[in-house]
Structures are given as C-alpha cells and as structure tokens.
Amino acid sequence: MPVRTIVTGSFKENCHLVWATGHPQALCIDPGDDAPVLQAAVDELGLELAAILLTHCHLDHVAAVDEMQAWSGASVVAGQGEEELLAWVPESYRFFGLPERPAPQVDHWLPPDSADLAAALPALPLGTLRVRIYATPGHTPGGTSYLIGDDFFPGDTLFRDSIGRTDLPGGDLQTLARSLALMMALPADLAVHPGHGESTTIGRERRENPYIQQLVPQEVTPA
C-alpha cells in the first residue's frame, strides 16, 4: 500500500497520504499546514480524498483541515475526547504569534471503542481501504491511531527513539504508557509513520526506544 509523507509547516509535521494501488480513494492523515502543497500531491497522484483522519487536534496537525475539506469535500474524522483541544486552536495561534484562525470542523467523532472505520462510518467512500482504529490517549485525551494494511499511524504518541510529550493540557504519562503498551503488542514488522520525524517499525522501537524500555513492561512486548 503506498504512503506519501509530506512534511508541512514550521512545526515540520508529517502529513500522510494513503491509498490502495490501482484505486483512487485516499486518506489524508493529519493535514498540518501547506494545503496547496497537499492538494498538488493529491492531484499529481490522481487520487480522491475519501476522508481526513486526525490522530489528535493540536494546531500543528489540523491547520490545513478546513482548506483540505473545502477543496475535496472529504469528511473529517477524529477521536472523542479531542473536542476541547480543538476549541483551543484559535488560542494556540495567538500563543505561537500566528494570525488567528477559527478552529476547523470535525464531521465525525469516533467513540473510544471504535475498531473499524468502515463499520463506524459506513457512508465513507473507502473503496478497498480497511482502517483499524486504536484509541491511544496520553499525549492528548482522545488520541487515535490508525492501522491501514501494514502501516501504522500513531500521530505524536510514538516516534523513532522517542514518545509523545505529556506536559501539555490533557497529557497524562500513565495513560500514554498504556497506549504504548498496546502499540508494542502489535506485530514487529509494522511500519510506523509518526507525526514528526522518520518512520520506524514496532520491532525497532521495542528494541531500541529508551522510553519504551522504561515505561512498557517486558511481558507485553513479544520477543
């Protein structure tokens, strides 16, 4: 399954375009900025956006949502628990000295027990894409990760050699540790495409991520 990662904005956030070979339906995960660049990539690849998936609602992951939704008509999906964080987006613009903009709109809020995107939202035109949903709070209250084929998208919960911070509003280290344990129980060969920085694999992070070694009990990390 192809994945195109585009680094956006001053925060160097990773937006991911995901689609099935031979099918036009695509997903845009975390359009953080630079909407014209993202739109050009979708056009270049001959794709149509089926949905915009958000792993969480920090400013650097949602700043291009409204432009992408207006341009494509795609529905915007996020996990329940992110509503307050989304409402803080205008204040976040002010905090970083950026021109204030309204918070983007989310069309569908996923309950934390959601497991399959097509089952949760059967009207989405996903074509052959199958999206597994994982509630992974801790970095934010409603953090959500997506497994599509052999590719895993954890947002800012897991990075290569690091993990998400928990010192921002709504962050909680113990909750994050439980989410990381869930991730480390996934197959080792899954490719991990985080919200910032390089891609990695679950197996590599089990072995080499010092934060995983500290926070996740060995019994939940398969050999």
Whether the pLDDT of residue 153 is over 70: the answer is: yes
Looking at residue 223, its pLDDT comes to 54
Looking at residue 217, its pLDDT comes to 83
Whether the pLDDT of residue 218 is over 90: the answer is: no
Looking at residue 219, its pLDDT comes to 63
In the chain, domain spans: 3-220
End-to-end CA distance of the chain, in Å? 26
Looking at residue 1, its pLDDT comes to 85
Encode pLDDT of 114-134 as tens digits.
Answer: 999 999 999 999 999 999 999
Encode pLDDT of 12-43 as tens digits.
Answer: 999 999 999 999 999 999 999 999 999 999 99
What is the average per-residue pLDDT within 196-222?
90
Classified by CATH at the fold level, domain 3-220 comes out as Metallo-beta-lactamase; Chain A (3.60.15)
Residues 6+ apart with CB under 8 A from 159: 194, 195, 196, 197, 200
Neighbours of 219 (CB within 10 A): 7
Looking at residue 221, its pLDDT comes to 65
What is the average per-residue pLDDT within 166-186?
96
Looking at residue 222, its pLDDT comes to 65
- Please state, rounded to an integer, the average pLDDT across all residues of the chain: 96
Confidence label for 220 from pLDDT (cuts 50, 70 and 90)? low
